[in-house]
Amino acid sequence: MRVGIIGGGAAGLAAAYELVKQGHYAEVFERAPFLGGQASTFEVGGGQLEKGYHHLFVSDVDMVALIHELGLGDKLAWLESKVGLFHGGKVWDFSTPMDLLRFRPLSLLQRIRVGWWTFVLQKTRNWQKFEGITARDWISQHMGRRVYEVIWEPLLRGKFGEYYDQVSMTWLWGKIYLRVASRGKGLQKERLGYPMGSFGEVFDVLGDSIRRQGGDIHISAGVDRVVVGDDGATGLEVTLSGQEPETREYDAVIATTPSYIFTRLVPTLPDDYREKLVNVQYLSAVLVILVLDRPLSDKYWINIADANMPFVGIIEHTNMIDKSLYGGKHIVYLSNYPSRESELYQKSGEELVEEFIPYLRQINPDFDRSWILEHYHHKVDGAQPIIGVNYSQRMPAHRTPIKNLYLANTTQIYPEDRGTNYSVRMGRQVARMVMEDAAAD
Ligand SMILES: Cc1cc2nc3c(=O)[nH]c(=O)nc-3n(C[C@H](O)[C@H](O)[C@H](O)COP(=O)(O)OP(=O)(O)OC[C@H]3O[C@@H](n4cnc5c(N)ncnc54)[C@H](O)[C@@H]3O)c2cc1C
C-alpha cells in the first residue's frame, strides 16, 4: 500500500512508523521546516528546548513504549516536580495532599472536600458519568461554590478563556484520574518524564527510523488539497520546498492537521461530518520563554489562580531538567491559551515581555529585568480543542465518509485530553485501521 500522510507531528509520524513496520510505503508531508509539530524544539544555550513546555506522565505508556522502541529509553528520566498555586499574591505549595491541607484561603472543611472529591475522581474509572455536566457545575455542586471560585474558575478561565464554562467535567476527570498514576502511593510526590535529548530528538529519531524502513518524509512541504475521485481519496496535491505544485497518488490518505485546516483541504466533505469538525473550537498557545541567569522560583510548575495576572502558567523547566543542558541558563515559560482573534495573540514578544515583567515580582520580589539574558516568543495554533458536554456523541470518526480518507487529530482524543502520548496512540491505531480496511477490501 502507498499511504500519504499530512502532518509530521506525533500522530503523522507514529502512523507512518506503524505502516512502514508492516511493509507498506508511507510518505509524510510537513509544511513546517521541522518535524514534531506542537512538540517541536529550538536551540537554547546549546541544547534543544520545546517551544511549549513538555513532559510525560507515568500514564503516558504509548509514548514511553515508543521512546524505548526507538532506543532512547536510557535518555528518559523520571524526575520529581514541585507544583505551586499562585493565589492572593502568594505562591502556595501544591504538590502533595498535605500541601492542600495547608492551603488557608479555603476553610478546613473546604480543603477536606477538595481532597475527598479529588480522591474520588482518582478512583473513578467510569468517565461516562461526567460526560453530561460541565466542570463548572460539577465542581460547584460537589466541592462547593467557594472552592470553585478560588481554585478552579481561574484555572478554567486561564486554560479555556471565554469557553471556561462550557468545558466538560470529563476533561477534569482525565487530568485528575490520569495524573494520579504519576504519583507514588500515599503522599509521595509526582514524578514526570522527560527525554533528556528533548522531544525534538524523539521525533527526529522516529523520522530516521521511518526513512530507514523505506518511508519518505518531506519538511517545508505543504499539502494544498486532498484529491477525491469517485472511488474516494486517491492522492494529494503537494508543494515541496522550491518546487511547483504536483499531485501524488496514494491508496489511502491520513490527515493529522487541526480540523479547520482539514475542512479546507477537503472541500467536498459531506455536511454532517463537516459539521462535527467545525463545531469544535480551538485555542492557540502563546508562550514567552525567558532565559535567566538565576532561578525565578523553586517550583517546576505554578498555576496562576488570579485573573489579574496576564499569564496562566509559569513553568520553570530548569527546576526539573538540569540547566547544564542549556549552558547553565535557567529557563522559564510564561503561558497563555488565547483565541487567534484576541489582543494577546496579536502582541509581539517584546510587548509581552514588557507587560509580564512587573507581575514576575509578585512571584519573586527580587526579580529584576537584568536577570533576563534572552527571551523568545512562540505561538502554537490549534493547540487546545474545547471539548464540551456529551462529546462522545459528536466526535468525528477516524474513518471519514470519503473512502480511503482518515482523520487523526487532537479533537479525536477523548475522554483524555490532547498530549503526545495520545497522538502517538491514535496515529498507530489509525494506521492499523487503514491496513485492516485494505485487507478487507
Ligand atoms: C504549550 C503546549 C504544551 C504542551 N505540553 C505537553 C506536555 O507536557 N506533554 C505532552 O505529551 N503533550 C503536550 N502538549 C500537546 C502535544 O504537543 C500535542 O498534543 C501533540 O504534539 C499533537 O501532535 P499531533 O501530531 O496530533 O498534532 P500537531 O503536532 O499539531 O501536528 C500536525 C502537523 O500538521 C502540520 N500541517 C498542518 N497543515 C498542514 C498542511 N496543509 N500540509 C502539511 N502539514 C501540515 C503542522 O505543521 C503540524 O506539524 C503540549 C502542547 C502545547 C501547545
pLDDT tens-digit readout, 351-364: 999 999 999 999 99
Nearest CA to ligand 1 atom 14: 419
| Contact between 9 and 39 (Cβ < 8 Å) | yes
* Cross-strand partners of 138: none
Q: Which residues line ligand 1 (CB under 6 A)?
A: 6-12, 29-32, 37-39, 52-56, 222-223, 256-257, 261, 285, 287, 335, 380, 382-383, 409-410, 418-421, 423
Residue for cell digits 531538567?
321
Would the pLDDT of 218 be above 50?
Answer: yes
User: If you take atom 35 of ligand 1, which residue's CA is the nearest one?
Assistant: 7
Which domains does the chain show, CATH number per domain? Answer: 2-75+197-280+389-440 (3.50.50.60), 96-182 (no CATH), 281-385 (3.90.660.20)
Predicted confidence (pLDDT) per residue in 8-22, tens digit:
999 999 999 999 999
86-121 CB burial, b ≥16 within 10 A, e <16: bbeeebbbbbbeebbeebebbeeebbebbeebbeeb
Give 410 Cα–ligand 1 centroid separation in angstroms: 8
Q: Which atom of ligand 1 is nearest to the CA of 222?
A: 42
Residue type, 403: K
**CA–CA dist 400, 353 (Å, integer):** 43
Strand order in the sheet with 246-249: 222-229, 232-239, 246-249
Contacts (Cβ under 8 Å, ≥6 apart) of 50: 39, 40, 41, 198, 199, 200
pLDDT attached to residue 184: 54
CA of 93 relative to ligand 1 center, distance in Å: 31
Q: Which of 202, 257, 335, 387 to mutate to test the pocket of ligand 1 (most atoms within 8 A of CB)?
A: 257
Nearest CA, atom 12, ligand 1: 419
Ligand 1 atom showing the smallest separation from residue 51 Cα:
1
- Grid cell digits, residue 140: 460547584
Burial of 319 from C-beta contacts in 10 A (0-12 / 13-18 / 19+): buried
CB 27 within 8 A of CB 42: no
Note the Cα 349 to chain centre separation in Å. Answer: 21
Q: Mind listing the pLDDT tens digit for each residue in 179-213? A: 765 565 554 667 999 999 999 999 999 999 999 99
**Alpha-carbon span 6 to 13, nearest angstrom:** 10
- What is the model's pLDDT at position 185? 53
In this structure, the residue with its CA closest to atom 31 of ligand 1 is 9
Which stretches of 23-141 are assigned E, i.e. beta strand?
A: 25-29, 41-44, 47-50, 76-80, 83-87, 90-93
Q: Residue 139 has what pLDDT?
A: 97
pLDDT at 187: 46
* pLDDT tens-digit map of 239-297: 999 999 999 999 999 999 999 999 999 999 999 999 999 999 999 999 999 999 999 99
Closest ligand 1 atom number to CA of residue 29: 43
Nearest residue CA, atom 13 of ligand 1?
Answer: 419
For residue 358, the CA-to-ligand 1 centroid distance in Å is 31
- What pLDDT does residue 178 have? 77
- Residue of 13, 38, 53, 248 to mutate, ligand 1, most atoms within 8 A of C-beta: 38
From 160, 420, 425, 426, mutation site for ligand 1 pocket: most ligand atoms within 8 A of C-beta: 420
Average pLDDT of the residues in 326-343: 96
Cell of residue 266, nine digits: 477537503
CA–centroid distance, 10 to ligand 1, in Å, is 7
- Which residue is closest in CA terms to ligand 1's atom 6? 54
Ligand 1 atom 7: the closest Cα is on which residue? 54
CA-based radius of gyration for the chain:
22
- Which residue pairs, CB below 8 angstroms and at least 24 apart, start in 103-107? 105/150, 106/146, 106/147, 106/150, 106/151, 107/146
- 213 Cβ contact list (under 8 Å, min separation 6): 17, 20, 21
Q: If you measure from the C-alpha of residue 376 to the centroid of ligand 1, how many angstroms do you get, rounded to a whole number?
A: 19
Backbone angles phi, psi at 69, to 5 degrees: -60, -30
Query: pLDDT tens, 98-122?
Result: 999 999 999 999 999 999 999 999 9
Contacts of 382 (CB under 8 A, 6+ apart): 38, 257, 258, 260, 261, 282, 284, 410
Nine-digit cell at 340?
487567534
Give me the pLDDT at residue 175, please: 87
Q: Is 351 exposed, middle or buried (0-12, 13-18, 19+ CB in 10 A)?
A: middle
Minimum CA distance residue for ligand 1 atom 2: 52
Mapping DSSP to helix (H, G, I), strand (E, B) and coil, where does residue 61 land?
helix
Average pLDDT, the chain: 95
Q: Cα of 36 to ligand 1 centre, how many Å?
A: 7
The grid coordinates listed for 356 are: 509580564
Q: What is the DSSP letter of 56?
A: B
Q: Ligand 1 centroid to 418 CA: how many Å?
A: 9
Distance (Å) from CA 37 to ligand 1 centroid = 4
Pick from 239, 280, 418 the residue to mutate for probing ligand 1's pocket: most ligand atoms within 8 Å of its CB. Answer: 418
pTM: 0.96
